Amino acid sequence: QDSAVETRLMDRDSAIATGAMALFGEKYGDEVRVVSMGTALEGDKAGKTYSVELCGGTHVGRTGEIGVVAVVAENAVSAGVRRLEALTGTAARRYLTEQDRRVRDIAAKLKVRPDELLPRIDALVDERRKLERELAEARRKLAMGGAEGAGEPQFRQIGAINVMARAVEGVAPKDLRGLVDAGKRQVGSGVVAIVGLTDGRAGLVVGVTDDLVDRISAVDLARLGSAALGGSGGGGRPDLAQAGGPDGDKAELALQAITGRIEELAA
């Protein structure tokens, strides 16, 4: 509709009584500017003004003067109230033209028509997730020295204790527990300590098989490793504990501290 926009100066209480919206609570003076526009054609407000607000801004004479409207942002102002940010008129047309150009450029790079972009993007996201899973599995196998059960055992003995201790690049802390569980299956009876390095930082998980937890605590070993990595402590259970620290370049020192303690316990 090309509706007229009306502005009136009123006292605040009278304005509120007319149904005007006051979005900013008490942040108004005694006299307020009431802006009204439009007439609803249907629904509960049919025949009534559909927008009445307290507002101090500059406004058009008729709603038709606004022209094209392009909403560019939305955020919450308070409970149940959303703030829309928009461009209008020439600025809105420029914005929409630029958005259309970007869509066409992206479509050209992906070698699809603009209307095929969403299916193509969905396919790329699925493909990326699949590759990330495959990469995580490849890193896991690499960290364990190849496929589980294949080739020579990937651990050594300290006294009578089987020990697997290694540092692996590009493995996130959240993935270390799975590596340690796989390592415990390989050693059968023993200790597994793995440091994962990402972006210069280190995560550490230590696992002890159930038959050794009365002699060796994973928590104690994790704390030793954490100290070498510049961290503070570690936590978990006697059979599985985790820690970490900012000094990823000290990974070997952390593993040496852990194996050194195992040597003491195995003596």
Question: Burial letters for 134-162: b for 16+ Cβ neighbours within 10 Å, e otherwise?
Answer: eeeeebbeebbbeeeeeeeebbeebeebb
User: What pLDDT is stored for residue 218 in this prediction?
Assistant: 95
pLDDT for position 149 = 47
| Domain final residue pick, 58, 73, 93 | 93
Report residue 21 CA to chain centroid gap. Answer: 36
Same domain, 159 and 89: no
Final residue before a domain boundary, out of 75, 93, 111: 93
Residue 128 lies inside a defined structural domain of this protein: no
6-10, 54-58, 247-251: lowest mean pLDDT where? 54-58
**Which range among 25-34, 179-188, 198-207, 236-245 shows the weakest confidence by mean pLDDT?**
25-34
Asked if the structure places residue 192 within a domain, the reply is yes
What is the reported pLDDT for 147? 45
The percentage of residues in the chain with a pLDDT greater than 90, rounded to a whole number, is 48
Same domain, 171 and 87: no
Condensed to tens digits (0 to 9), the pLDDT of residues 114-167 reads 999 999 999 999 999 999 888 877 777 776 665 444 445 578 899 889 999 999
Which pLDDT belongs to residue 68?
93
Counting Cβ atoms within 10 Å, is residue 130 exposed (0-12), middle (13-18) or buried (19+)?
A: exposed
Which has more pLDDT, 253 or 50?
253
In a domain, 101, yes or no: no
Q: Is residue 32 part of a domain?
A: yes
**Average confidence (pLDDT) over 26-49:** 74
- Per the domain annotation, does 251 fall within a domain? yes
Mean pLDDT of the chain: 86
Long-range contacts of 39-43 (CB under 8 A, 24+ apart): 39/1, 39/3, 41/1
- How confident is the model at residue 60, as a pLDDT? 84
Per-residue confidence (pLDDT) for residue 24, from 0 to 100: 63
Q: Domain range for residue 89? A: 5-93
* Highest mean pLDDT out of 17-21, 53-57, 181-185: 181-185
**Residues ≥6 apart with Cβ < 8 Å to 259:** 158, 163, 165, 193
Task: Give me 36's structure tokens.
Answer: 């009204």
Structural domains of the chain, count = 2
